[in-house]
Structure 1
Amino acid sequence: MSDGPTNSLLQVAVKNNQPPVKYFTDKIVLHALFSEDGRMERGTFLETWRSLPDSNEVQKDFPRITITSIDSTLDLLAASNLFFIAKRKNGNQDVLYLSARVPKGVPFLIELTAMVGQPGLKCAVKTPTPEIAPLFFESLEMLFKP
């Protein structure tokens, strides 16, 4: 990790037998790193959520994202190794709980809140590494783009 705010740009230098060295940047999408072992049991999810301090929770609103179907949303997220844990109703809103894991076993505990068919998605993520939450939010937004 470099100093300064977290961003998704990767600086690359490629050196071979023919000069000069080639330099370029590329964008890292965090969801490409989500591992297949990111599924948590409900009890483990709750225990992990409670064990992390409140300061490790980061929230973001996505006013332009509309969830049209819970099932299709869960399928979309599962395809990127975001695993469904539970669902509950909060008035007229659906709250989804999911888990994901990146290399070195770093978990992401995710709470998505939305009203099906209405614009607006709220995401709360709790992780031992909250400094990379902006990369998570960027990936989530990319996953929901048509």
Structure 2
Amino acid sequence: MYDDAWNLVDREKIFDGHELEGLKNVVRINLLTAAAALIRKTRDNDCDSLQNSESASRILRKCTQLYEGEVDVYDHSNQIEDEYGALIIEILAEPKVFRWLEQPTAISGMKIEDGSRYFLKDEGRIRNIFTDSYRLTNDDIVHVRKPTVSFKSYKFRIKQLRVEIHDMGGQKSELVAIKNDINVFYFATAIPLVAYFREDGQMEKREFLEEWKSIPEQNEQQFTLENVQNMNADAICTKLQQNNIHTVARRQVDNQQLLYHSVKYTNNLNVLSELKVNSATTSITLSLKSKNLMAIANINEIFQMLLN
């Protein structure tokens, strides 16, 4: 976790033991929900799949109990037992199920948050989450997804313009107040992440290479994107550049185009990317690196949105 200046904050100063256990159960609920969605999707596309699976039936029953109960899904009374970890792992071992997890939202039609995918794609992480003695790491906490219900306020300036964003909680739109010398304008809107990308965020090749090498491997994340419009490398670079994702370099390796881009947030934090584009397939491999892992969160969704 990081403070407003992107300094690492010790998790014990943010969450006590009881809160950490609550967050771990939130992850369990999210994984159970995602597993149930994958089971339904698999059955919808192949009515014979998983019909005799006791694990699938138990996951679906538990998920139904959660969402049809009288209390909120994330209420502390909804504790997910350890045994469901093994059931989820068993379901994901089915190739017909796992292939839907690999598909982006635009293709699968399912909304599984990246935070849940982070755990679902690693059997070890699933086992950890469903082990009572396990304590969440900072990386785990970053990937916990729970709807917010409290009011939070964020303030920043763009030159002489003062902007306040008020997170109302539990919704995708935010209340924005823009102040100038004449008046204050209030409106609610959904703010895309690209709004925080700076126009002057393009790095020099040498600067990019030095920073890429200096970032540790554990701060790199990879994603598979779908080039649904079948755009070539030129079109991709143009589209990204129009949204302040700046092209730093390009090179050809065998039948692949490697595209390197930089993003700079309004707080001067950099995110570096590599796109591997192969004309023989619509799948694109995206690698993201940053000195601060939180800066990477959800940027892959921006790339996918622009490719769509």
What TM-score results when the alignment is normalised by the length of structure 2? 0.39
> RMSD of aligned C-alpha atoms?
2.9
What is the rounded CA distance, in whole Å, between the counterparts of 2:273 and 2:292 in structure 1? 13
Residue 131 of structure 1: CA displacement? 2.6
Matches within 5 A, 1:1-146: 4-5=144-145, 9=172, 12=175, 27-65=190-228, 67-116=230-279, 118-145=281-308
Task: Give unpaired runs (5+ residues) of structure 1.
Answer: 15-24
Distance 1:13 1:49, change over 3 A: closer
Q: Report if aligned partners of 1:67, 1:117 keep a CA contact under 8 Å in 2.
A: no
- What is the identity, as a one-letter code, of the residue corresponding to 1:90? V
Higher-Rg member (1/2): 2
Q: Secondary structure at the match of 1:97?
A: strand
Greater percentage in strand? 1
Q: Report if aligned partners of 1:66, 1:120 keep a CA contact under 8 Å in 2.
A: no
Residue 69 of structure 1: CA displacement? 2.0
Greater percentage in helix? 2
Task: Give unpaired runs (5+ residues) of structure 2.
Answer: 3-140, 148-170, 178-187
- What is the identity, as a one-letter code, of the residue corresponding to 2:251? R
What is the rounded CA distance, in whole Å, between the counterparts of 2:242 and 2:223 in structure 1? 22
1:22-77 residue CA offsets vs partner (Å, 9 max, x unmatched): xxx86442122110121000000001111111111111001454542222211111
**Greater relative CO (CA pairs within 8 A, separation 6+):** 1
What is the rounded CA distance, in whole Å, between the counterparts of 1:40 and 1:6 in structure 2? 35
Q: Percent identity?
A: 26
Residue 110 of structure 1: CA displacement? 0.7
What TM-score results when the alignment is normalised by the length of structure 1? 0.78
